[in-house]
Chain A
Amino acid sequence: MAKAAIDAGCRFYAGYPITPSSEIAADMSHLLPRVGGVFIQMEDEIASMGAVIGASLAGLKAMTATSGPGFSLKLENIGFACMAEVPCVIVNVMRGGPSTGLPTLPSQGDVMQARWGTHGDHSIIALAPSNLTETYWETVRAFNLAEEYRAPVILLLDEILGHMSERVELPDPSELEIFNRVAPQVPPEAYLPYATSGSHVPPMANFFTGYRYHVTGLTHDLTGFPTEDPEITEALMRRLDAKITDNLNGIIKYEETHLEDADIAIVAYGSVARSARVAVEQAREEGMKVGVFRPVTLWPFPGKQVAHLASHVKGLLVPEMNLGQIVGEVERVAGSTPVVPLNQANGQPIPPSGILTALRYMERK
């Protein structure tokens, strides 16, 4: 992951020690000074998120990594990044919660927190890779999306991915497609920091480049200065939402396995999708027609794709290492197709056998 971040152009990391994400910080503390970047361990989670935003405003691609309790603290400043449109990447290696919970055991309990954790209406991008090679690619994509949409991008890993190692094939970094924030094409005196043309994303001037402008967490107008004007406020809120929701094709990514002839589809993400794939192989040996739909982009949720899937299958199984979070999104779009949740929040991964049992149960019904 650290290597992916460096390859994607990340040159700033601020973090605070927390299990199970400390390994990322350790790697970054080694790598960054060696590529001319900056690593800093801040005094707390809030500060590390703040430093990331500061560094990004000054022009560096910046990231932080944490786990549930730290993510809770970072959300204040993540909201700032949403509002002020500051590109940055936040890794959350999910562990059991609430509160200190299960520090060393896996969970998928922060999915809704990633979506709605910071206060106020906002859209957000969250990605959930399910193996280490994909973690590399999604980390690179996270930086690209952050830069392209001027938004915080959250990488949701679970503790299984956070600590495991497996065979990974990495590309030559020089062959990666890297997206950099669009700089303004106008002179400073004509620059309106939050004015858009064509896309919903305004060009971004880095601090100290001659464009002296104002960045605030307050609702602001095109000049960046605070306003309470209802029309301007509404326009800003709509644009912040639209820059994500009008670009679903550019953001949403998913993987389908054995869905062509499936009667039952499993919707699973992260490490649970690994169990689901094994269960599908076994179920198919037993003659069941099942497949897996795996959202890689969790937010925005691929609702259209799941709705389409629901209209073609007899049932949807949604296994999650929580008490039911994404299943709500699936139910929202599934229409009359039955949706069966399979939940486990005890710090243990859901084994393929558990999913297989649920599949057999659905098949009998």
Chain B
Amino acid sequence: MRKPPLSGIDATAFRNKYRFEARLSGEGGQGVVMGGAILAEAAILHEGRFAVQSPTYGSRVRGGPTKVDVIISNKEIVYPRATDIDFFLCLAQMSFDKYGTDLAGDAIVLVDANLVPRVPSNRHLVYRVPFVEIAKGEMGNVVLSNIIALSVMATLTGIVTHDALWRAIEARVPQKYLELNRRAMELGLDLAARLGEKS
């Protein structure tokens, strides 16, 4: 897949990091926990690295705040929860308020432009993308927000290649939805490219 140039972020720095911590969060039903599983599988199975994903659920099936911590490393990962987060994806304000802690000083924060209006912007590099609106409008399904966001994340951080990500998605997603997911990945790439132009 194409890899758009991005200014301002050194993607290789993340890749070389001993312990890369990502937290994906949102509302139940947005596919966030599934996104975490895909990310970890991409790193483990298709890039031969160590990864741990450890989700935290609420008691509600839909609508409650959820998060998943994904840690990717070149070494065995002992502690499975994030404590110094490099990348934080958030698709709901309540999740931002609840899980927007433990961010590293140079963390990248990627939020839904519509659903996370209140972000203290002075401390981190913050990107805003209307993931859910795009997923609903262009793909017709909110669940695809996670795939679009993962695609953007892969570009922003370079922590896994789009190719590895795609292979993990292929292994998890039923055949009939693959084309839709492929479009979501492409859409993520375009969005990331535009983010790069802006920054």
Contact = CB atoms under 8 A, between A and B. Distances in A.
Interface string B53-77: 1111111000000000000000001
- Contact residues of A: prevailing secondary structure: mixed
Contacts of A164: 52-55, 80
A97 B85 CA distance: 29
Given A103-B59, A167-B44, 15 more contacts: A19-B59, A104-B56, A160-B54, A163-B54, A163-B55, A165-B53, A166-B44, A166-B51, A166-B53, A166-B80, A271-B80, A278-B78, A351-B81, A351-B83, A353-B83
Contacts of A278: 78-79
Contact of A165 (B52, B78, B81): B52
A166 B59 CA distance: 24
Contacts of A105: 56
Nearest to A347: B56
Interface residues of A, number: 20
Contact of B78 (A167, A274, A353): A274
A171 B121 CA distance: 49
Interface in A80-115: 103-105
A277 interface: yes
A17 interface: no
B60 to A, nearest CB: 10
A165 B78 CA distance: 12
A165 B37 contact: yes
Taking residues whose C-beta sits less than 8 angstroms from the other chain, chain B's interface range is 20 to 34
A364 to B, nearest CB: 24
A105 B56 CA distance: 7
Which 7 pairs of residues, A with B, have the shortest CB-CB distance? A164-B54, A166-B52, A104-B57, A278-B79, A167-B44, A274-B78, A277-B78
A69 interface: no
Contact of B59 (A104, A275, A353): A104
B127 interface: no
A2 to B, nearest CB: 16
Interface in A314-338: none
Nearest to A352: B79
A151 to B, nearest CB: 31
Nearest to B71: A166
A164 B37 CA distance: 9
A349 interface: yes
B51 A167 contact: yes
Contacts of B81: 160, 349, 351
B77 A166 contact: yes
Contacts of B54: 160, 163-164
